[in-house]
Amino acid sequence: MIRRLFGSRSTLGLAWLFLLFVSAFAYAMFQGGFVSWFLFYSYVPLFLYSLAIAFYSLRDFHITRRIEKHELNAGEPLTVTIDIERRFPLPLFYLVVEDHAPENMLKRHRTLRRESTKALLALGFGRRASVAYTIDDMPRGEYRLNAVTIKTGDIFGFVQRTKTFQIEQSVLVYPKIDPMMSWLPPDHAFGGRRRSHQLLEYDLTAISSVREYIPGDRLSWLDWKATARTNQLVTKQFENPVNQDIIIVLDRTADREDESGTRFEIAVALSASLADKALRIGSAVGFLSLGRDAIWIALRHQAEARWAILHHLASCEPDGGADGFYGFDKYANQFYYQSTVIFVTTRVTERMVLIIYDLANRGLAIELVLVADVLDQSVFGRVKQLEAMGVVVHVDRGGRLETLDRAGDSLATS
């Protein structure tokens, strides 16, 4: 019972306190004189203070955690404040406050240590105190902060008291987005590098036929020569509308050559930047994430699509097996004609080449974003094969995208 109340170390410390008390009293009684009684009475206040610490209930403390921003972008600082309140002002020589950092945060952050979220206070008679700490350069991820531990004791360390408070809160760190990304999706209608703010755009240079005017047709579509010839309003008919949809496919396959996960983090950041750029120029964006399980985010516009995509990218992991495109066919049927499909990956496999070949034959525009330091001959050959199919291949170069014709020579290895 006593060990459960105080803990094994404090129980042993109390035993030593009582032993020292009895020893000091016995020494004073048998030795007598000023020095022996002075030592005894000097020890009594320390003994009583240690007893008070031992019986002081740490339930008297009320701990709260304040997080400045629950949603961040990668690279931004996280600021956390721990507020401490108590009702009974027992003087405390010291108080250690530790906010337990999540294991995944300790694993991902390069410089964060457990001691970084720990602080020492001289609380004294105070009833309120605050401890703040800042974690710079937060990495992407979803983090759950749970426990806050306080620890105190007497001056000599005979008695130590510890209590942990469960305060569950979460922090979501989105991947870093490059708003200045130079990438633009291809324009099927005019062959340039421009996009309309409309989902569908008719090719006004490709007139297939004419028909009678229907209320609601644009005046600019009227064929005035045919109207004058037939003495009734005639409207031009155009080729099928151009699809402005963009679908981003992220390969979450675990790469043996990327044990640190650096290239995967770049791939995630590129996916976020591509989605952001496509939404800002008015395209509808769909997102397919392939790993241990497949996550499909249907085509949407603006805020709804942005939130859904970034929320997934904040917490995704490279957890895919050897066949990272398992089940791809199930979702490929939802890729509409003339959509632009962008594959973001850290590797190029034979299966990926076959999948892209099939999509290209269905009339979809394909782009490949490859994150790689160097390309061996087999990968370089597959990339060249994709280019021969008309696939636009981009290679990440220090956070910048370059087409293969500019970066390929320096990436290829013998």
- CA of 394: how far to CAs of 261, 280, 284, 391, in Å? 20, 21, 22, 10
* Residue 195 reports pLDDT greater than 50: no
Report pLDDT digits (tens) over 162-186. 999 999 999 999 999 887 677 776 6
Q: Of 382, 353, 375, which Cα lies nearest the Cα of 366?
A: 353
Using H for helix, E for strand and C for coil, what is the string for 268-317? Answer: HHHHHHHHHHHHHCCCCEEEEEECCCEEEEEEECHHHHHHHHHHHHHHCC
Give residue for tokens 């009678």.
212
Query: Would you say how long the chain is, in residues?
Result: 414
Average pLDDT estimate for 110-130: 92
C-alpha pair distances (Å), 328 with each of 157, 163, 249:
62, 50, 10
Domain 58-174: which CATH class? mainly beta
Q: How far is CA 383 from the centre of its chain?
A: 30
Residue with the bigger pLDDT between 193 and 408: it is 408
For residues 84-99, average pLDDT = 94
Q: What is the pLDDT of residue 134?
A: 95
CATH number of 242-411: 3.40.50.410
CA 201 remoteness from chain centre = 35
- When pLDDT is cut at 50, 70 and 90, the band that residue 372 belongs to is confident
Residue 2 has pLDDT above 60, yes or no: no
| Residue ranges of domains in the chain | 2-55, 58-174, 204-238, 242-411
| pLDDT (tens digit per residue) in 268-313 | 999 999 999 888 877 889 999 988 888 899 887 777 888 999 999 9
How does the average pLDDT of the chain come out, rounded?
82
Is the model more confident about 301 or about 317? 317
What is the pTM (predicted TM-score) of this model?
Answer: 0.75
Give kind and range of the element (H or E) at residue 355: helix 350-361
Q: Do residues 213 and 222 lie in contact, with contact meaning Cβ atoms separated by under 8 Å? A: yes
Token pair for residue 315? 């917490």
Q: Letter for the amino acid at 218?
A: R
Give me the mean pLDDT over the 138-148 stretch. 95
